[in-house]
Amino acid sequence: MADPSDRISQLKIDRTANEKAGTGWVWWAAGAAIVLAAVAWMIVLRPESSALLVETDVARKPPSAAAASSVLDASGYVVARRQATVSSKVTGKVEQVFIEEGMRVEEGEIVATLDDSTQQAQLELAIAQADSARAGLVEIEAQLRNARLERNRLRDLAGRDLTSKSSLDTAEAVYDELAARLATGRENIGVAERNVALARDSLANMTIRAPFAGMVVSKNAQPGEMISPVSAGGGFTRTGICTIIDTGSLEIEVDVNESYIQRVRAGQRVSAVLDAYPDWRIPAEVIAIVPTADRQKATVRVRIGFLERDERVLRDMGVKVSFLGDESPQESGADVQGVMIAADALRSDADGDFVWLVRGNSVERRSVFVGGPRDRQRILVASGLVAGDTVVRAADGPLSAGQNVKTR
């Protein structure tokens, strides 16, 4: 007969099968999640990683006809051809300063005075010495008159044999001696007067005046400081009172690459724009081309003069200039058809000129017509683009129509 305990064990529920069934479902769910993640990566992340990095530029309307039709662009600074750091001829202590930055001074106007007590005393001494020399000369002249009368009287007596020859010789010697002393006295007076003039000049050097009319751009010394025409070392002695510039001598200096200097000539019309006033175009012209080149920068310096003067133009301001051709329009505000883009954005092939136009996250090829010089930093595109279009200047790889791009 079978054991009752075996029958009872057969009535137990087998939980192993349920555990195996539950584990299989979990693995199926994990696999589905992995597949969904892969699909999401292919859809979202993959295009982003395949996007080509590009550098872009925005097409803009040219500020003027002159800027659009210039033969060469350059940048430089406003400089003053006539400027001076006003100092003294001698070393001295500053007593008063009469100028401030931004003040206009006229030629010969006093800008400062130095302590002149020593020079004043030297002048008084020189004047006293000159007066003494004149007084001594008056005494010699009186003695000479008496000696002349005595000599003439003895000559008359000697002619009548009423006096000795030795007495006449003595009178003649006295007269000659006084005449020589008179000549020396007159020379001494001349020397004394020169000493007075020198003392007056030394005193005048204690008053510092403006060498020409202009604007004070810096004040370098204060009352109580020492000033010297040469550096005394140690940093405690100033070498100038102030710096004055002649505002009428302001001009522009630019460095032109020597490869393009043939496009510049004396008298050429120029349109200048100050960095501080980008909407203000100033008419100018080339004064001269400095006849030397900078071998380090491979540039040639060009001087440009303003045709209009304005108080807004200040020394050391940054300025951009456009050298105009003979056919350039006279009116700087004339309307121009087209837009300006960076020269790097223009491309050419057998089909002509074109640019890569950015549309959203991709690019498309756009044919354009160039309406100006091509060898400038920014060129005029007469048709094919409108203001606000974004074009590709540079890319990390070759471009094709529909290529996904991302801006750096």
pLDDT along the chain (408 residues), means of 10: 55 52 60 66 51 88 64 91 91 93 94 94 95 91 92 88 86 91 92 95 94 93 88 69 93 94 92 91 93 93 93 93 71 63 88 90 90 74 88 88 86
* Helix-strand-coil split of the chain, %, nearest 5: 35, 35, 35
User: How many CB atoms lie under 10 A from the CB of residue 184?
Assistant: 13
Cα distance between residue 260 and residue 117, in whole Å:
61
Is residue 371 within 8 Å of 59, Cβ to Cβ? no
pTM over 0.85: no
Task: Return the beta strands (E) in 220-298 as ranges.
Answer: 226-227, 237-238, 242-245, 250-257, 269-274, 281-294
Cα distance between residue 180 and residue 190, in whole Å:
16
Cα distance between residue 363 and residue 35, in whole Å:
32
What per-residue confidence (pLDDT) applies to 46?
47
Cα distance between residue 46 and residue 302, in whole Å:
54
What per-residue confidence (pLDDT) applies to 331?
47
Is residue 56 within 8 Å of 297, Cβ to Cβ? no
- Sequence-distant (≥ 6) Cβ neighbours of residue 199 within 8 angstroms: 119, 122, 123, 125, 126, 127
What per-residue confidence (pLDDT) applies to 246?
94
What per-residue confidence (pLDDT) applies to 47?
47
Q: 358: closest CA among 383, 390, 406, 385? A: 390
Does residue 277 sit in helix, strand or coil? Answer: coil
Cα distance between residue 235 and residue 13, in whole Å:
104
What per-residue confidence (pLDDT) applies to 8?
55
Furthest CA-CA distance within the chain: 210
Cα distance between residue 120 and residue 114, in whole Å:
12
